Amino acid sequence: MNAFVGKPYVSIEGAAEMNNLRVYGNLQPTGGKAPVELLARIPSDECDCPEELWRVDGLLLLFHFEADGSSEAFIYAGDWETETILNAVSLDDLRAKAFQWSADLVDKGGKLE
């Protein structure tokens, strides 16, 4: 079993849904910002390709899906940033790979080989 790490977060909608699913009896919203939040889903201003901007535990994760599958992902953390190329077959695939890349980077202290 893994211990819960981080600050608990429950949105108003999350509390209602968890209570409706009978996972909890009387779960209450915690307030504050969600640890993962979609900030924008738009066409690129340069080429109309889909882009998404997410906030993930305080970091900004931006990815740009190219039609040929070779897509870019960027992480911005104040004065530090990094980027990579990810190959994906769909926007959903890119989203999963970008989130995994971000998690791997954070787990390794910002240094991937």
In the chain, what are the domain boundaries?
33-107
Q: Smallest Cα–Cα separation from 91: which of 50, 46, 30, 53?
A: 50
Least confident of 3-7, 19-23, 56-60, 109-113: 109-113
Question: Which pLDDT tens digit goes with each residue over 23-49?
Answer: 777 889 998 889 999 999 999 988 999
What are the tokens at 41? 């889903």
DSSP bridge partners of 71:
86
pTM above 0.85, yes or no: no
